[in-house]
């Protein structure tokens, strides 16, 4: 595979962009190779600047649930753009988006649009602190809620990928207000609540953890968090930037039948354009300015391009869509599991809906941060490179998820499963 143009472009980028990329995981550091530069995408395929074609299992880290450059989404963007791309003033599209989100997620009664998942989570904890008049929050090891100061304590995603679980630039006072519990361990949460019950504004959690690889909640975890939040009078925030509209129309809250007080959203609701949102109970959301004292604003919040693209996607997410996506995801899961068994590879597949991670590990299961960091990252790097050479584009980190799109064909699925078997066989040699 010729990657000469991508290699040269990366050298140029490093001269003018820190690390050559605008988001750290894109640098391919953890997979020990140079990143590929993308020129275009359509459906389930992406193409690099050297002319190589790949089947895409990243889906822009989740938003492209319909596949790339979907005709209806492009039409909505083009039609909207012809009337202007941003006004800094209200539009009907924002109300339509809010109504759509509220209709799909039962716990959301009002919603505020922002520009990224990070902005959504930062705003949600500010609102929680303002509403409860408490300052501390509880988060979980390996959960990633964007790059806000309060969250870069034992964080997942790129921070974990690059071995930077704590970031310089985060003040000690900010860090002391972030308390760390263990995912899938309710006792670790209650200990913190007992110790600082009068100080904790909220518990924030990825209901399905997607940033230390995919880690599923156990049967009692999410409902237990709901009960603990009620018992100790703090808010429960579900970070559904990944899981929102992906696991089900109502996200993880519908899938697991647990309601949060506040929900953060992103990715899919922008149809591939920059977007975020947070919403919840009216009494909490009305604490935001201009109704209440908690301030948050954004010049491009609710911009018409993202609203039109996102609405086009959300309007396609019916029961038939999710049944088809589950069929695609299940075929892949079965194929990978069979390959692992046939090649006698030490690996575990975690999947929920159209999100999946393959962990190279001697463990029988991966249930938390401590389990995830025991995976064989060097073996993953070799695996990634073998798959890339076969035209399969995977997340360039052992601590990220694959995101499947409805554009994947049976031919794509078979190619992926076959490539996976070849890769596992090569890794055994």
- Which residues participate in catalysis according to the annotation? 144, 239, 267
- Is the separation of the CB atoms in 159 and 152 below 8 Å? yes
- Is the separation of the CB atoms in 161 and 372 below 8 Å? no
Residues 162 and 90: their CA atoms lie apart, in Å, by 40
Count CB-CB contacts under 10 A for residue 100. 19
Running DSSP on this structure, what letter comes out for residue 354? T
- Is the separation of the CB atoms in 161 and 373 below 8 Å? no
Sheet bearing 178-181, strands edge to edge: 110-114, 276-280, 262-266, 235-239, 200-205, 136-140, 178-181
Spell out the alpha helix ranges (H) of 248-397: 251-256, 282-285, 304-314, 319-342, 369-372, 377-389
Region for residue 393 given its phi and psi (left: phi exceeds 0; alpha: psi -120 to 50; beta: otherwise): beta
Rg (CA), the chain: 21
- Is the separation of the CB atoms in 275 and 269 below 8 Å? yes
Two structure tokens written together for 313: 């996607």
């Amino acid at each position: 595979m010729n990657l000469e143009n991508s290699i040269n472009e990366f050298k140029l980028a490093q001269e003018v962009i820190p690390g050559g990329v605008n988001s750290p995981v894109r640098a391919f550091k953890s997979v020990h190779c140079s990143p590929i530069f993308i020129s275009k995408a359509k459906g389930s395929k992406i193409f690099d600047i050297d002319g190589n074609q790949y089947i895409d299992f990243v889906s822009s880290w989740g938003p492209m649930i319909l596949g790339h450059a979907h005709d209806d989404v492009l039409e909505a963007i083009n039609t909207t753009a012809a009337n202007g791309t941003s006004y800094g003033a209200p539009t009907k599209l924002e109300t339509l988006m809010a109504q759509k989100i509220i209709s799909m997620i039962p716990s959301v009664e009002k919603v505020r649009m922002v520009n990224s998942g990070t902005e959504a989570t930062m705003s949600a904890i500010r609102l929680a602190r303002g509403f409860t008049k408490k300052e501390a929050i509880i988060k979980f090891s390996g959960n990633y809620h964007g790059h806000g100061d309060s969250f870069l304590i034992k964080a997942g995603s790129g921070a974990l990928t690059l071995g930077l679980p704590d970031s310089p630039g985060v003040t000690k006072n900010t860090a002391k207000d972030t308390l760390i519990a263990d995912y899938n361990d309710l006792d670790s949460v209650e200990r913190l609540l007992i110790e600082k019950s009068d100080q904790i504004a909220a518990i924030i959690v990825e209901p399905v953890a997607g940033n230390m690889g995919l880690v599923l909640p156990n049967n009692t975890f999410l409902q237990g968090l709901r009960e603990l939040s009620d018992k100790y009078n703090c808010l429960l925030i579900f970070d559904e930037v990944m899981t929102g509209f992906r696991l089900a129309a109502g996200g993880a809250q519908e899938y697991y039948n647990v309601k949060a007080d506040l929900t953060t959203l992103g990715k899919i609701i922008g149809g591939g354009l920059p977007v975020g949102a947070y919403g919840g109970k009216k009494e909490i959301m009305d604490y935001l300015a201009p109704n209440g004292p908690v301030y948050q604003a954004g010049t491009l919040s609710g911009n018409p391009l993202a609203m039109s693209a996102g609405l086009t996607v959300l309007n396609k997410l019916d029961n038939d869509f999710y049944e088809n996506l589950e069929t695609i995801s299940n075929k892949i899961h079965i194929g990978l599991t069979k390959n692992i068994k046939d090649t006698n590879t030490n690996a575990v597949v975690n999947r929920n809906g159209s999100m999946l991670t393959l962990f190279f590990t001697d463990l029988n299961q991966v249930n938390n941060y401590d389990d995830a960091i025991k995976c064989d990252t060097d073996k993953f790097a070799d695996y990634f490179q073998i798959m890339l050479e076969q035209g399969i584009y995977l997340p360039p980190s052992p601590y990220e998820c694959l995101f499947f799109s409805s554009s994947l064909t049976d031919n794509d699925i078979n190619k992926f499963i076959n490539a996976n078997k070849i890769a596992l066989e090569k890794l055994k040699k």
